[in-house]
Structure 1
């Protein structure tokens, strides 16, 4: 990786881009960007000149990159979960915030705590938690005494995230069925959309019914 590549990575991090987006712009694998940033200070401490020098020195010495500390979302306990979440399409920063909340003993953190622990900007945390709240993975509570938001993940979050996800799928299914009717049930397009709509509708309703049936396991 060239020094110019590293400068572009730093610019992307400053703009709040995900690792996947930075990788796309550099035409490199996302894992390459993740390793580069992780071994050179993390998203909040990445400096392209320092990273370039450190990589050159490591190559000369043959010394492996320092490991991340345990007990944070990027420690051993959370790294594999983060990678799995990223593979499913979750933005890396969002995955890091989610896993850090999951690893919190009481499942609660403030934005300031997340910013400090993950060494990222408040804006990055804000984008991540907004995504998590919108998709039901996390809920937002207000601390009236200190006038700040607290982000909470508990067992019921899994139920709520499934409900929201299935609702979105159900809306897509009904949109497909409406488009099928508009296209005509006797046309190839209409038939294709109708089949997709029925499939998505049945799957989403089955998932919602299953979530309701097994919700007691989370109590």
Structure 2
């Protein structure tokens, strides 16, 4: 542990912060996120907008560069982490934008539509008047409902956030 005063410590190396990171990562893992992306995401929540390099993430979490690479790839695919560079630097920095949560949920529209389209194909393939067809149609209708409601929730969140600022 560093002997620097608490206010000057790097958040990524502070014991209390690392305890939070691991605790929050466990909750995300219990909710279905893979373990390593959950740890990296939790860590990135605790750092400033400049983010961390892959080496910084690896050092803070005591994990291999390969583990960081896989976790960051997953997090970028689901729009939870962004990559950028500081002017004049060659190394990428990973960070979480201010809109990470609603952006991630808002980006699900395309996924829900693809699911609905594919489920509709399944309904036609097995027959809409069969038990299997009704089950697939019910699943399609549920995802269609989720798509509409997610859009509404994101819109309500943006309105609330705007009203509070």
Q: TM-score, normalised by structure 1?
A: 0.62
1:162 alignment counterpart: 105
Q: Is the 8 A contact 1:140 1:149 kept in 2?
A: yes
Cα distance, 1:100 vs structure 2: 0.7
Residues 210/69 of structure 1: CA separation in 2 closer, same or farther (3 Å cut): closer
Q: In terms of Rg, which structure is larger? A: 1
* Residue in structure 2 matched with residue 27 of structure 1 by the alignment: none
Of structures 1 and 2, the one with the larger relative CO (CA 8 A, separation 6+) is: 2
Q: Check conservation: 2:50, 2:93, Cα contact below 8 A.
A: no
Cα drift, residue 190 of structure 1: 1.4
- Residues 103-122 of structure 1 aligned to structure 2 (within 5 Å): 103-106=46-49, 108-122=51-65
Q: How does 1:1-150 map to 2 (within 5 A)?
A: 70-72=15-17, 75-106=18-49, 108-150=51-93
Distance in 2 between the 1:78 and 1:119 partners?
13
Deviation at 1:78, TM superposition (A): 2.3
TM superposition shift of 1:69: 5.9
Give the Å deviation of 1:166: 4.4
TM-score by length of 2: 0.80
Cα 1:107–1:97 change in 2 (3 A) is: farther
Q: Deviations over 1:18-39 (max 9, x none)?
A: xxxxxxxxxxxxxxxxxxxxxx
1:186 Cα deviation from its structure 2 partner: 1.7
Give secondary structure in 1 for the equivalent of 2:137. Answer: helix
Aligned-pair distance for 1:156? 0.7
Name stretches of at least 5 consecutive residues in structure 1 with no aligned partner.
1-67
Question: Alignment RMSD, CA only?
Answer: 2.2
C-alpha displacement at 1:160, in angstroms? 1.6
Q: CA deviation at 1:94?
A: 1.1
Could you list the runs of 5+ residues in structure 2 that have no partner in the other structure?
1-12
Change in CA separation of 1:101 and 1:107 when aligned onto 2, cut-off 3 Å: farther
SS at match of 1:151: strand
**Counterpart in the other structure of 1:42:** none
SS of the residue aligned with 1:143?
coil
Structure 2 residue 128 is matched with structure 1 residue 206: no
